[in-house]
Amino acid sequence: MRILVVEDERRLARAIGHGLEDHGFTVELAHDGETGLWKGREQDYDAIVLDLMLPGLSGDEVCRQLRAAGCWTPILILTARVGAEAEAGGLNLGADDYLRKPFSYQVLIARLNALLRRTAPARPVNLVVGDLVLDPARRTVRRGTTPIELTRREFSVLEYLMRNAGSTRSKAEILDHVWGADFDREPNVVEVYVGYLRRKIDQPFGTGSIRTVRGHGYLMGDEDPRAPEPVATGDG
């Protein structure tokens, strides 16, 4: 799951980011309203954690403009404001939930998980490609009845590929959705992690779920590993 945290207190933003990453989320940070608005409009997130007291563009205005632009990403507001009026104001602008500072990370994680469950009814409980099954809630993977142990990052790469099964995804897209747009390492890190996954989910079972599309990226599907690798066609 990919989360945008918009918080101007940098130490708090980093702490929130680390806390969410420890629970399996991929996190991007923004420290002012303008950046948060741009990221929220231009990139795909599963949820946005939004502080109200931001420099430049306030969190209230960020929320209002995102909704006006047709962006319906779930928004969880964080604020030090007190009182029912402040809480109602954010919710009336289109936010989905509200958490007052100071807060516990246990409550933040629980609120986010509840929000994601409420706002994503179309997502399957399990992701299935052939006999490969990934459970996003329990963070488990199995091939048939055989459980497969993955690291947090391996799990995130596999989840993204399985959510996009049948569609080729480039290294840049995988980097953006799993590591975040601010990640500054070489795209070859994707190739490394795909190799890790193949050694765990395919090679021991004689399968070829993750296929390389030469010149384009990776394709997740239930394929015969002996078949030739697909080649990207067209202008893309």
How confident is the model over 88-135, as pLDDT tens digits? 666 677 888 888 888 888 889 888 988 887 765 444 568 899 999 998
Q: Which amino acid is at 22?
A: D
Fold of 2-119: Rossmann fold (3.40.50)
- Which residue, among 111, 77, 105, has the nearest Cα to 93 in the 3D structure? 77
pLDDT at position 225 over 80 = no
Non-local (6+) Cβ contacts of 211 within 8 A are: 218, 219, 220, 221, 223, 229, 230
- Read off the pTM: 0.58
**Half-sphere exposure of 81 toward its Cβ, with a 13 Å CA cutoff?**
18
- Which residue, among 40, 42, 117, has the nearest Cα to 29 in the 3D structure? 40
| CATH number of the 127-220 domain | 1.10.10.10
How confident is the model over 137-157, as pLDDT tens digits? 778 999 999 999 998 889 989
- Which residue, among 17, 47, 59, has the nearest Cα to 115 in the 3D structure? 47
The 3-state DSSP class for residue 148 equals strand
In angstroms, the CA 184 to CA 191 distance is 15
In angstroms, the CA 178 to CA 158 distance is 10
Domain-wise residue ranges, the chain? 2-119, 127-220
